[in-house]
Amino acid sequence: MPTIKDVAKQAGVSVATVSRVLNKKGYVSKEAEKAVSAAIKKLDYRPNAVARSLYHKTSGMIGLVLPDISNPFFPELARAVEDVALAYGYTVVFCNTDEEVEKEQKYFEALKQKYVDGIILSTSSQEQEAYHQLDLPLVALDRILGENIPTVVSENRKGAELAATHLLDNGCRHLAHLRGPEGVGPADERYEGFMEVVRREKIPYIIKNAGFDMEKAKQTTLKLIRSNPSIDGIFAGSDITAAGAMHALAILGKKVPDDVKVIGFDGIPLGSMLVPGLTTIEQPIYKMGALAARLLIKQIEKNPHDKIYHELPVKLIVRGTTEEVKNDWKSDGSREH
């Protein structure tokens, strides 16, 4: 690979001049510029990003730290981050932590040593303190890490209220909530939203912990329905656990939505693939990722942004698990409310 020196020699100028035309900075005569451009083209020269990094202490890379890309909520988020990053000329380093402090810490080290320009965090295994100490531009995505860290989340609580209300509106009189892991922000908020509604409406309810895991949700639902056969509406904390519940209901011979209605949360593609289609609270996943990336890049490039807390709207998507869908008038069989 040719270096800036080669280009300078080829063009008959100094490296400084080459650098100037490369960065469009400082005075360069038309002729010099032409000579340099020609040399660059002739040698097929590209500036060495590492050398630039060393000088500028920036790398054009951002870290994306999330629990596990295999969890279907994250691919779309990751994709959004990457799209925006690419558009702004950044590159994404991809870090799965499984919510393990150790891995997270290891990655933070590695990322800092590589001069990443900032980090998007969808995990929260550590104390707020640890993130502040990073001393890097940060954005919290789908998690709340602390007061002064820019944050992108969706309306988890309101979504849960919508979900519970939707079940009631459709005639359910005995609800269950398969809640996500305790201590994980969105799961807790969904739980609270659900509680708000059942308490206000004085509806009998049961809460079961199902994590965000399909198999666990299935087993939990089997037990739940066997011991509480009168349950006629299930609000699952995620679309994955909703799928688990549906499996359990199928095994028990319960018809969905006739005997039991099911609603999920997230709006991942899975929901539309299930038969019947899964009614769910849709988060604007792509938008969340894209916004997080934009906020991070603004921070990196020192364009101050006004708001630091961004809560994006959720939307009830009605499909077959809560309502008989008679005809196929919209291609994916879903409706927005």
Pair 159, 192: CB distance under 8 Å? no
Minimal distance in Å, beta carbon 110 to DNA? 14
Q: How many chain residues interact with DNA (CB under 7 A)? A: 31
Per the structure block, which two tokens stand in for 37?
Answer: 């451009």
Pair 193, 158: CB distance under 8 Å? yes
Pairing status of strand 309-312 against strand 151-154: parallel
Whichever of 78 and 203 has its CB closer to a copy of itself, that residue is: 78
**CA 312 – CA 164 distance, rounded (Å):** 19
Asked if 301 is part of the footprint of DNA (rule: CB under 7 A), the reply reads: no
Ramachandran angles phi, psi of 250, nearest 5°: -60, -45
Residue 25 contact, options a copy of itself, DNA, none, Cβ 5-8 Å cut-off depending on partner type? DNA
Asked if 22 is part of the footprint of DNA (rule: CB under 7 A), the reply reads: yes
- Interhelix angle 4-11/30-43, nearest 10 degrees: 120
Asked if 273 is part of the footprint of DNA (rule: CB under 7 A), the reply reads: no
Minimal distance in Å, beta carbon 114 to a copy of itself? 5
Residue 287 contact, options a copy of itself, DNA, none, Cβ 5-8 Å cut-off depending on partner type? none
Whichever of 56 and 173 has its CB closer to a copy of itself, that residue is: 56
Tell which one of 35, 121, 167, 214 touches a copy of itself (CB under 8 A). Answer: 214
- What is the DSSP code string of 216-240? HHHHHHHHHHHH-TT--EEEESSHH
Per the structure block, which two tokens stand in for 279?
Answer: 């009614």
Residues 258-317 that bind a copy of itself (CB under 8 A): 269-270, 272-277
Tell which one of 9, 10, 29, 73 touches DNA (CB under 7 A). Answer: 29
Residues 33-92 that bind DNA (CB under 7 A): 33, 45, 47-48, 51-52, 54-57
Q: What is the DSSP letter of 8?
A: H
SS3 string, 25-60, reads CCCCCHHHHHHHHHHHHHHCCCCCHHHHHHHHCCCC
Q: What angle do CA 60, 62, 65 make, to 5 degrees?
A: 165
Asked if 27 is part of the footprint of DNA (rule: CB under 7 A), the reply reads: yes
Residues 74-93 that bind a copy of itself (CB under 8 A): 74-76, 78-79, 82-83, 86, 91-93
Q: How many chain residues interact with a copy of itself (CB under 8 A)? A: 62
**CA 127 – CA 107 distance, rounded (Å):** 16
Whichever of 52 and 158 has its CB closer to a copy of itself, that residue is: 52
- Among 284, 337, 273, CA closest to 310: 284
Minimal distance in Å, beta carbon 23 to DNA? 5
Enclosing H/E stretch for 76: helix 74-87
Whichever of 22 and 168 has its CB closer to DNA, that residue is: 22
**Beta bridge pairs of residue 96:** 66
Residue 29 contact, options a copy of itself, DNA, none, Cβ 5-8 Å cut-off depending on partner type? DNA
Amino acid in the structure at residue 91 = T
Please name the residues in contact with 45: beta carbons below 8 A apart, sequence gap of 6 or more. 2, 3, 4, 6, 7, 39
Minimal distance in Å, beta carbon 112 to a copy of itself? 8
Binding positions for DNA, rule: CB under 7 A: 1, 3-5, 12-17, 19-20, 22-23, 25-29, 31-33, 45, 47-48, 51-52, 54-57
List interacting residues with a copy of itself (CB under 8 A): 1, 46-51, 53-54, 59, 61, 64, 68-70, 72, 74-76, 78-79, 82-83, 86, 91-96, 103, 106, 109-115, 214-215, 218-219, 240, 243-244, 246-247, 250-251, 269-270, 272-277, 328, 331-333
